Amino acid sequence: MKHRNTYIIPYVLMTPAAVMLGLFILYPMLMNIITSFQSYSLVQIGRPFVGFANYKALLTDARIWSAIKRTIIWTLVNLCFSLALGLGSALLLSTRFRGNNIIKSLILIPWILPSVITGYTWSLMLNEDAGIITWLLKTLQLVSRDFSWFRTGALSMTAAMMANIWRAFPFFSLMIFAKLSTIPNDHVEAALIEGVNKRQMFTYVSFPYIKPVVVSCTYLVFIWTFNAYDIIKVMTNGGPAELTTTMSILVQKEAFQYFSLSNAATMSVIMFTLMTLIILLAYLLLKLVRKVKA
C-alpha cells in the first residue's frame, strides 16, 4: 500500500500544472484550429463551418506570402546577429579584465526589460528630430539632414531589428558564458601545452562544450523571434504601407482591425505549422550532419 501511494504522488503533484496547461494552452489551441474551419466575424451572427475555404483563400492572398517572407527575413537576420554578438560578448566576458563583473551585470539589462519598453526606448533614440542616434549620425554627416528611420520599409525593418537584436543577444551571451565557465582547467592547460593558438583553442576545446547550449538557445530564440509582436507593433505597427508587417502583426490586424477571427485563426495555424516545419527541418539537418561526421 505504501509503495502504491509513493507511485501515485508524482502524478498528484503534476495534476495542477497539467490542468493549467490544458486550460490555458491546449484548449485555446484546439478552439483556434476549430475556428480556422469556420466563418467567424465579430460583425456577423453565427459561425458556419466552411471547411478549408479559409485556407484556400489565404494561401492565394499576396498579403500572407509577403508577411511570411518578411517574417523569415526578420527571424534569420535577428537570429544571426544575436548569436554572433552573444558569442562574441561571451568570449570577451570569459577573459579577465578590470570591470568584468560590472559588464556582466549591465549586459543583462536589455534582456530583463519588457519588449514594449525596449520598443519605445529605441523609437525615441531613433526619432527623426530628437533621437540621440539620429542626431549623432547627422552630426557626423553620415546621413542627410532630412534622414528618417521610419520613412521606408527597409529602414523601418532595420530599426526594429536593431532593437530586437539589442534585447536578444544578452540571452545568448549569458548562457554561453555560463557554459564556458564549466570547461575543465586541465583541458585548457593541456591544449596550451600542445601550443594551440586562440582559434584552435576555440575550435577544438571551447566550441565542443558550448555547442549544445548554442543549439538549444538558437531554437528558443528562433521561436521567440518568429512570433515577435511587441517591438514591431510599438515601433512601426507594420508600416509604412505594411512593409514591416510580419505574420504576428497580420494576425493581430485581421482579428482586431478587420474583425475576422476565422482568418486570424487560420493565419495563426499557418504560422504555427510553418514554424514547426522549419524547426523540424533544422533538427533533421543537424542530425544528418552529426551522422556524417560520425
Q: Which of 12-26, 45-59, 159-173 has the highest mean pLDDT?
A: 159-173
Confidence of residue 5 (pLDDT cuts 50, 70, 90): low
Kindly give the residue spans of alpha helices, DSSP state H, lying in the chain. 2-21, 27-35, 53-59, 62-93, 100-106, 109-112, 115-125, 132-139, 153-180, 185-193, 198-201, 207-226, 230-235, 247-256, 261-293
The pLDDT of 101-121, averaged and rounded, is 90
pLDDT tier, 287 (very low <50, low <70, confident <90, very high otherwise)? confident
pLDDT of residue 171: 93
Q: Is the pLDDT of residue 1 over 70?
A: no
Specify the higher pLDDT residue, 2 or 56. 56
Closest to 238 measured CA to CA, from 261, 224, 222, 254: 254
Would you call 121 exposed, middle or buried from its count of C-beta atoms within 10 A (0-12, 13-18, 19+)? middle
Q: What local confidence, expressed as pLDDT, does residue 286 receive?
A: 86
Q: How far apart are CA 50 and CA 62, in angstroms?
A: 21
Query: What's residue 202's pLDDT?
Result: 83
Q: Where are the domains of the chain?
A: 59-293
Q: What is the pLDDT of residues 218-266, one digit of tens each?
A: 999 999 999 999 999 999 999 888 899 999 999 999 999 988 999 999 9
Tens digits of residue pLDDT in 22-64: 888 888 899 999 999 999 888 888 889 998 999 999 999 999 9
Question: What is the CATH code for 59-293?
Answer: 1.10.3720.10
Confidence class for position 13, pLDDT limits 50, 70, 90:
confident
Residue 291 pLDDT level (bands cut at 50, 70, 90): confident
Tell me what the pLDDT averaged over the chain comes to: 89
